[in-house]
Amino acid sequence: MTKHRLLTEFGMGTSLRRQDYTQAATRALQDALWHNSINLAELFDRPKTDMLIDVEIGVQQPDQVDTSKLAEIFPYGQFTFHVVQGGLDVPRPDGKPTVIANVAIHVSFEMEPS
- How far is 14 from 43, CA to CA, in rounded Å? 33
pLDDT digits (tens, 9 = 90+) for 13-69: 999 999 999 999 999 999 999 877 778 888 888 999 999 999 999 999 999 999 999
pLDDT digits (tens, 9 = 90+) for 79-114: 999 999 999 999 999 989 999 999 999 999 998 876
Average pLDDT taken over every residue of the chain? 93
pLDDT computed for residue 111 by the predictor: 86
Q: Taking 80 as the threshold, does the pLDDT of residue 78 lie above it?
A: yes
With helix as H, strand as E and coil as C, how does the chain read?
CEEEEEEEEEEEEEECCCCCHHHHHHHHHHHHHHCCCCCHHHHCCCCHHHCEEEEEEEECCHHHCCHHHHHCCCCCCEEEEEEEECCEEECCCCCCCEEEEEEEEEEEEEECCC
pTM (two decimals): 0.90
- Name the phi and psi angles at 11, rounded to 5: -150, 165
